[in-house]
Structure 1
Amino acid sequence: MEVVVRVYRGGEEEKAAIEELERQCEYSGQKQGKPLLVTDLMGDPICRVRNFKSHVMLVAEFGEEKEIVGVIRGCIKTVTRGKRTSSAYPVYVRLAYILGLRVCPTHRRLGVGMKLVQHLEKWGIQNGAEYAYMATDYRNTPSVNLFTLKCNYVKFRTPGILVQPVHAHDKPIGSRIAIVRVPPQVAASIYRRVFANSEFFPQDLGLILNNKLSLGTFMALPKKSIPSWDMKSGTLPPSFAILSVWNTKEVFRLQVKGVSPLTYASCVGSRVLDSLMPWLRLPSIPNVFKQFGVHFLYGLHMEGKGAARLMKSLCRFAHNMARDDAGCEAVVAEVGKRDPVREAIPHWRKFSWPEDLWCIKKLDTAKRNDKANESCRPYDWIKSRFSSSIIFVDPRDF
């Protein structure tokens, strides 16, 4: 029977069908005997992409009963692709981001996933996208094979996901370091300067910083430099670190399932020991076996003497923010493989992903007169040797 792909209509019946599909995919993973990090969307299934101005959610129907056997989400955004050597200004490109692809275990190997991807790409082209990209765990072989072998995507970037569990105790911040809150307008100006040569920096950053899920932008700098620095002057202090915090709790919750009894007992034991002897300030493991939320750190950048120490203090401040937010059990950051800030971000290796594989594809579009880049020669971002070591990870993508 033919698979029909259409736009998600909403409604309680369709929402329930997609929730059941998500559960079936979860159960399929658990049958393999591997620990799972399960995502539970909060509210409508389309919430993962709702914070983008242009977004879509597609479902695949099968048979006369029109059973929903697949789902995919996508959005359109305009981002930088790294500075060209012949220009002092960043060059923007419009692309489609693909996420949330799910296919019912009983209907796999029938071309459902590929058909969903093809329809999403077609929607992207209709909305002016020149490229499409997606992110997946490099160990997710079925997903990697679908995109690279069947849909002609290429492996592009491999940023790392760094996870710091939230402990029961505050982390100390140096007495000589000041943490200041930066207003969204000032933060946008700073970010456009320091990320001008980066990849994937969003043109609509102002919408992100002013979004209700944004918990603020913060800067760490030596206290001695505060009297001589005016935040609104347009200049930057000689030494500083900066980051913004995004609250994912209102979009999705996570839960770890399928761990061994020994692992479960050791995690519980760490919390019991911490509660009995709080003066030791043990780094106990939070209860990740029930649903929990995370704070996502983005826009991480540091400059000047002692910048790594400032970034570590800023990450401690973010940890303490998360500790005061009930139900938040981890602080997460995703940075480029060669980004200098990576070594300054506190994280637990066992909780982190060394490589989050990003795959990209140049869409087969007719030549368009792009007024923003009409002076540029034809350019293929994928084949370019001038890629940046800095990747700006949009918190809406996480």
Structure 2
Amino acid sequence: MSSKKIAAETHFPDPPAVVVREYDETRDKAAVEELERRCDVGQPGEAALVTDLMGDPIARVRNFISHVMLVAEYGYGGEIVGVIRGCIKTVTSGKTRSRNEFPVYVKLAYILGLRVSSTHRRLGIATKLVQELESWCKDKGAEFAYMATECNNHPSLNLFTQKCNYAKFRNPTVLVQPVHLHYKSISSNVAILRISSQLAEAIYRRIFSCSEFFPKDIDCLLNNKLNLGTFMALPKQSLQNWNPRTSGGLPTSFAILSIWDTKEVYKVQVKGVSALKHVACLGTRVLDAMVPWLNIPSIPNVFKNFGFYFLFALHMQGKQGSRLMKSLCKFAHNLARDDVDCKLLVAEVGQMDPVREAIPYWKKFSWDEDIWCIKKLGEAANKDLDDWFKSTIPSPVIFVDPRDL
């Protein structure tokens, strides 16, 4: 028998199918944690930020009422080789109804935490995970889906924009400040108040009604255990004229923000840095500890697992607004200074947001563009949202929900 005839009669089994299903904590937790640990981050020899989920793999979306986590199985043994998370929320679109200026809300799906094993890439697994998640979100009534990634994450951008038909939509700025060993001094003319979640909700609904992505369930966000509180800064002389319990308006000049603690959900660390940079960073901390009054800008130990505080809902108003926001950021820094596991302060704001200029940050740790991509899943309940979806001009303020991190 000729070799050609043998080849023709040889039967090769079909490749195993990819099965996508919902995450089952009792049987999948260990496999998902192992998959997350194995996934490559960055290129060999490059500094990379590695995420270590704390405890529950689904914790990143559990803070939303409507959420799901899907896993992809490959092979006849059902090995878990991919994972994706998603949630659905109702947010503002930046548009208002012309007569009463009430915000126009949109039901939005958010996609995050996509991971595929490095040994099973280019098999269409990531695409299938995204498609299955989109189908789940559409069944739950989501009108649009969006995702966020760093501007240099080309594989993720190519997947969503070229294979899954997402369009680049918004480009907020990520601002990062290290937490130093010394405390930052705050002017004696500035009063900083911690306000109740009820008052914070009322203020936020008022000042963010025309922004994009402001969550309708802001009350759930503010009352979440990971929210460390909402704080206002105002000139001390304003305290005589403004009382949060009795005044119906807002102070002439003020700044406000809330602080989210990420440590219970995940921790991060920097890998791939040379020994020389390790020593240089250590040197800044030693000097800062020895002579704290010099206010040396030390670099914390980011080479071991650490958490960070996320500053959100930042807003300033009035002639002294910028000065007051800087004082609030100093207050947040000092709060983080007392938390031994917190090494960074992070904020994400729209590029045209005036508050951006008042937030201290290190350029080397920050990046100008965090790319958000969006896709229409079905017919929107409000036809005005078609214009919003196609608009390349954002509202000045983009509200970044810390639950999306």
TM-score between the two structures when normalised by the length of structure 2: 0.93
Q: Closer, same or farther in 2 for the Cα pair 1:275/1:377, shift >3 Å? A: closer
Measure the CA separation in 1 of the matches of 2:41 and 2:205. 41
Q: Which residue of 1 aligns with 2:10?
A: none
Q: Which residue of 2 aligns with 1:254?
A: 268
Q: Closer, same or farther in 2 for the Cα pair 1:380/1:273, shift >3 Å? A: same
Q: Which residue of 2 aligns with 1:86?
A: 98
Written as runs of structure 1 = structure 2, the 5 A alignment for 1:128-143 is: 128-143=141-156
Does residue 397 of the first structure (1) align with residue 397 of the second (2)? no
Shift of 1:333: 0.5
Q: Which moved more, 1:273-282 or 1:61-70?
A: 273-282
Does residue 242 of the first structure (1) align with residue 256 of the second (2)? yes
Measure the CA separation in 2 of the matches of 1:396 and 1:158. 18
- 385, 388, 395: which one aligns with 2:395: 388
Extract unaligned runs of 5+ from structure 2: 1-15
Q: Which residue of 1 aligns with 2:195?
A: 182
Q: Is the 8 A contact 2:41 2:50 kept in 1?
A: no
- 271, 274, 288: which one aligns with 2:302: 288
Q: Is the 8 A contact 2:85 2:112 kept in 1?
A: yes
- The residue type paired with residue 24 of structure 2 is R
Shift of 1:326: 2.0
Shift of 1:31: 5.2
Measure the CA separation in 1 of the matches of 2:385 and 2:43. 48
Measure the CA separation in 2 of the matches of 1:333 and 1:322. 14
Measure the CA separation in 1 of the matches of 2:41 and 2:366. 20
Shift of 1:386: 6.1
Q: Which residue of 1 aligns with 2:180?
A: 167
Shift of 1:277: 2.8
Q: Which residue of 2 aligns with 1:153?
A: 166
Q: Which residue of 1 aligns with 2:5?
A: none
Shift of 1:84: 4.2
Shift of 1:377: 5.3
Measure the CA separation in 1 of the matches of 2:392 and 2:171. 16
Q: Is the 8 A contact 1:30 1:258 kept in 2?
A: no
- The residue type paired with residue 244 of structure 1 is S
Q: Which residue of 2 aligns with 1:208?
A: 221
Measure the CA separation in 1 of the matches of 2:19 and 2:63. 27
Shift of 1:178: 0.3
Q: Is the 8 A contact 1:78 1:203 kept in 2?
A: yes
Written as runs of structure 1 = structure 2, the 5 A alignment for 1:257-272 is: 257-272=271-286
Q: Which moved more, 1:32-41 or 1:141-150?
A: 32-41
Measure the CA separation in 2 of the matches of 1:62 and 1:239. 58
Counterpart of 2:364 in 1: which secondary structure? Answer: helix
Number of matched residues? 388
Q: Which moved more, 1:85-94 or 1:225-234?
A: 85-94
Q: Which residue of 2 aligns with 1:8?
A: 23
Measure the CA separation in 1 of the matches of 2:108 and 2:288. 47
Counterpart of 1:29 in 2: which secondary structure? Answer: coil
Measure the CA separation in 2 of the matches of 1:68 and 1:127. 25
Q: Is the 8 A contact 1:243 1:299 kept in 2?
A: yes
Counterpart of 1:350 in 2: which secondary structure? Answer: coil
Counterpart of 1:382 in 2: which secondary structure? Answer: helix
Shift of 1:278: 3.0
Extract unaligned runs of 5+ from structure 1: none
* CA displacement, residues 352-396 of structure 1 (integer Å, 9 cap, x when unaligned): 121111000011x2x57x4xx5xx657342213663110000010
Q: Closer, same or farther in 2 for the Cα pair 1:31/1:346, shift >3 Å? A: closer
* CA displacement, residues 101-144 of structure 1 (integer Å, 9 cap, x when unaligned): 00001111110000000011001101110000000011000000
Written as runs of structure 1 = structure 2, the 5 A alignment for 1:242-391 is: 242-363=256-377, 365=378, 367=379, 370=381, 373=382, 379-384=386-391, 387-391=394-398
Does residue 57 of the first structure (1) align with residue 69 of the second (2)? yes
Which of structures 1 and 2 has the bigger CA Rg? 2
TM-score between the two structures when normalised by the length of structure 1: 0.95
Q: Is the 8 A contact 2:97 2:104 kept in 1?
A: no
